[in-house]
Amino acid sequence: MPRISYVNGRYEPHSDAMVHIEDRGYQFADGVYEVCEVARGFVVDMTGHLDRLDRSLSELRMAWPISRRALEVVIGEVVSRNRVRNGLVYLQVTRGVAPRDFLFPTATRSSLVVTARKIDPAVNANKAEAGIKVITVPENRWDRVDIKTVGLLPNVLAKEAAKAAGAQEAWFVDTDGNVKEGGSSNAWIVTKEGVLVTRPADHGILRGITRTTLFEVARKLGLKIEERPFSVSEAKAAREAFISSATTIAMPVVAIDASPIANGHPGSVVLSLRQAFFDVAEKRSA
């Protein structure tokens, strides 16, 4: 069965799905995106992801390409046409196709691309069992990372540096030595007292949808949360560390810059959050 992707109103074989060379996403990274997890046939937290898409679009004064309701239908179609039960759905909106000019085009429709792919749940389950390693890198992104734009070159380079160091994620660190977030995830620690700590999302990081749902999961499990900055040295001395994102949920971190966290094995708090996540998250059938 060929993969099917949605491009500007059409469902096409993935290998033939194209956008124009003057799409502003391609030329200026003038676009935004979302990634939703698909688990057991459900699209997870779609409302939160589309709310954030709406915010990203309005921050950039970009129009919805189609109505929100129509986009929900397209997401469902792409997931079901590709028979994705476990995996992800990716959607990207750009300011559209126009002759190259820095200024916003006046009569251009936003472009919309939606793709989906299967991921074997065992891959993440195995990763969670082993835990991942992270490195730290100086923050070098613009200060509007609260908008989920496709301008991800610093993230690409940071994650490539992580890979070169034998790690799976890079944490951006601000000039005060505090952890901001990962290249494609939010960053968390668990203190010796069992308190969850993550940086406030009002400035300088992306407000992860998984992060928000994990707040609810933590409340349900009776865990205390503090939204405050934490330093790299506090993280290295923490009882546990982990990352969160739609594709990884809560994923244990077992080493930061090659220094092991606690005994170097995934912690029990992150594993309990991971376990309870799906019960709490919104599930919409595709």
Binding interface with ligand PMP (CB under 6 A): 35, 181, 184-186, 206, 208-211, 244-246
| Residues carrying an active site annotation | 148
Give Cα 260 to chain centroid, integer Å.
Answer: 25
Is 204:174 a contact under the CB 8 Å cutoff?
yes
64-71: which pairs have CB atoms within 8 A and are 24 or more residues apart? 64/93, 64/110, 65/8, 65/93, 65/109, 65/110, 65/111, 65/112, 66/112, 71/112, 71/114
Closest approach of ligand PMP to the CB of residue 210, in Å:
3
Q: Which is nearer to ligand PMP, 7 or 35 (CB)?
A: 35
Q: Which is nearer to ligand PMP, 8 or 244 (CB)?
A: 244
- Buried b vs exposed e over 224-248: b needs ≥16 C-beta within 10 Å? eeeeebbebebbbebbbbbbbbbeb
Closest approach of ligand PMP to the CB of residue 173, in Å:
14
144 vs 60, 141, 206, 208, 217, CA distance in Å?
A: 11, 8, 9, 14, 28
Strand partners, 245: 249
Ramachandran angles phi, psi of 117, nearest 5°? -150, 155
Q: Which is nearer to ligand PMP, 97 or 214 (CB)?
A: 214
- DSSP letter assigned to residue 14: G
Closest approach of ligand PMP to the CB of residue 244, in Å:
6
Hey, what are 206's tokens? 């992306």
Closest approach of ligand PMP to the CB of residue 106, in Å:
31
Q: Which is nearer to ligand PMP, 31 or 208 (CB)?
A: 208
Taking every pair of C-alpha atoms in the chain, what is the biggest distance, in angstroms?
59
Closest approach of ligand PMP to the CB of residue 184, in Å:
4
Within the chain, residue ranges assigned H as helices are 24-28, 46-59, 68-81, 121-130, 153-164, 209-220, 232-236, 268-280
Closest approach of ligand PMP to the CB of residue 216, in Å:
13
Q: Which is nearer to ligand PMP, 32 or 98 (CB)?
A: 32
Is 43:79 a contact under the CB 8 Å cutoff?
yes
Could you give the 3-state DSSP secondary structure of residue 116? strand
Q: Which is nearer to ligand PMP, 8 or 37 (CB)?
A: 37
